[in-house]
């Protein structure tokens, strides 16, 4: 592992990117905050706490998924692998550097949702630590998905439509802005929940709803969702590493 490269790259492409293009930060916040507003209006504020907790999850997951565009542009247009293939930088170094830069890019949104959570009294030391864990796992898993997409795309113009669709399907349809129990029984059991758990946002949202006290505690469901989140993070990252071929492209 090359910590110096990872930190320098993530600072330049993360923190510096915020300073160079703040409009992108606003764009990343538009969808989650719009959905928060819609949920607040339609439910007369009854589900606003779900939307605040889920909004954080949706924000991180959507930024991670949409980063497939950057990863594809770097691979196909800038051909950055040709630069690193003969260097000491490994695919893991590159993937971690990109992932940290996406996390840095999420900082303004994290601050906004943290303030909203504090306003509604959602954050304690325990819930803050758990949300930090979820943010870390989400950025790893969704960034890995973005690298998988990048490794399969043949032309950069194709990536934008794919990421736009996936961002909605994998962050809005899962129970990020509404109680997860609304999905139970739709397929007879918890089948729909488990199917939607292919998106890291689903296990993150369900476990968060219980941990934050928004839904009754269910130790079996909580443990299952954490296992889902950890397992798919490992699997997605392994597939992404395989597809991020460290050779001339």
Q: What is the pLDDT of residues 4-58, one digit of tens each?
A: 888 888 888 777 777 776 676 776 677 777 878 888 888 887 889 998 999 899 8
**Confidence at residue 246, expressed as pLDDT on a 0 to 100 scale:** 58
- Decide: helix, strand or coil at residue 48: helix
In a domain, 153, yes or no: yes
Range of the domain at 13: 3-243
Residues 6+ apart with CB under 8 A from 184: 190, 192, 193
In a domain, 106, yes or no: yes
- Are residues 90 and 2 in contact, defined by beta-carbon separation less than 8 angstroms? yes
Query: Among 178, 230, 169, which Cα is nearest to 209's?
Result: 178
In a domain, 92, yes or no: yes
In a domain, 176, yes or no: yes
In a domain, 49, yes or no: yes
Rounded Cα distance, 193 and 121, in Å: 28
180 burial level (CB within 10 Å; 0-12, 13-18, 19+): buried
Number of domains in the chain: 1
- Are residues 158 and 73 in contact, defined by beta-carbon separation less than 8 angstroms? no
Which pLDDT tens digits describe the chain residue by residue (249 residues)? 778 888 888 888 777 777 776 676 776 677 777 878 888 888 887 889 998 999 899 889 988 888 887 878 777 777 777 777 667 778 788 888 888 888 887 888 888 899 999 999 999 999 999 999 999 999 999 988 988 888 888 777 778 778 888 888 888 889 998 899 888 755 555 778 888 899 999 999 999 999 999 999 999 999 999 999 999 999 998 998 887 765 544
78 burial level (CB within 10 Å; 0-12, 13-18, 19+): exposed
Rounded Cα distance, 109 and 22, in Å: 12
- Are residues 208 and 131 in contact, defined by beta-carbon separation less than 8 angstroms? yes
| Phi-psi sector, 244: left (phi>0), alpha (psi -120 to 50), beta | beta
In a domain, 44, yes or no: yes
In a domain, 249, yes or no: no
Rounded Cα distance, 139 and 50, in Å: 20
In a domain, 248, yes or no: no
**Confidence at residue 249, expressed as pLDDT on a 0 to 100 scale:** 44
Q: How long a stretch of residues is the chain?
A: 249
Sign of torsion over alpha carbons 36, 32, 122, 193: positive
**Confidence at residue 189, expressed as pLDDT on a 0 to 100 scale:** 59
Question: In this structure, what token pair is assigned to residue 82?
Answer: 């040709």
- Please give the model's pTM, rounded to 2 decimal places: 0.87
**Confidence at residue 129, expressed as pLDDT on a 0 to 100 scale:** 96
Q: 48-66 and 91-105 helices cross at what angle (nearest 10)?
A: 140
Rounded Cα distance, 111 and 109, in Å: 5
Q: How far is the CA of 174 from the CAs of 7, 19, 81, 140, 160, in angstroms?
A: 33, 32, 35, 18, 21
CA-CA-CA-CA torsion for 87, 89, 92, 95, nearest 10 degrees?
-100
**Confidence at residue 106, expressed as pLDDT on a 0 to 100 scale:** 81
Query: Among 63, 3, 100, 56, which Cα is nearest to 204's?
Result: 56
């Amino acid at each position: 592992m090359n910590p110096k490269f990872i930190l320098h790259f993530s600072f330049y492409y993360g923190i510096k990117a915020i300073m160079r293009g703040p409009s992108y930060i606003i764009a990343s916040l538009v969808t989650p905050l719009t959905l928060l507003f819609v949920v607040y209006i339609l439910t007369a504020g009854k589900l606003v706490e779900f939307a605040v907790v889920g909004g954080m999850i949706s924000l991180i997951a959507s930024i991670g998924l949409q980063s497939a565009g950057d990863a594809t542009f770097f691979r196909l247009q800038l051909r950055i692998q040709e630069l690193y293939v003969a260097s000491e930088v490994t695919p893991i170094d590159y993937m971690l550097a990109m992932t940290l830069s996406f996390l840095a890019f999420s900082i303004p949104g994290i601050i906004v949702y943290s303030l909203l959570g504090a306003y509604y009294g959602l954050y304690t030391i325990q819930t803050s630590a758990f949300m930090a864990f979820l943010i870390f796992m989400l950025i790893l898993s969704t960034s890995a998905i973005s690298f998988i997409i990048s490794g399969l795309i043949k032309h950069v113009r194709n990536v934008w439509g794919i990421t736009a669709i996936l961002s909605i399907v994998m962050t809005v349809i899962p129970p990020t802005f509404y109680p997860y129990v609304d999905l139970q029984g739709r397929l007879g059991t918890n089948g729909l929940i488990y199917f939607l758990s292919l998106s890291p946002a689903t296990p993150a949202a369900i476990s968060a709803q219980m941990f934050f006290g928004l839904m009754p505690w269910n130790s079996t469901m909580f443990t299952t969702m954490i296992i889902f989140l950890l397992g798919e993070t490992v699997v997605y990252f392994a597939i992404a590493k395989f597809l991020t071929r460290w050779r001339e492209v």
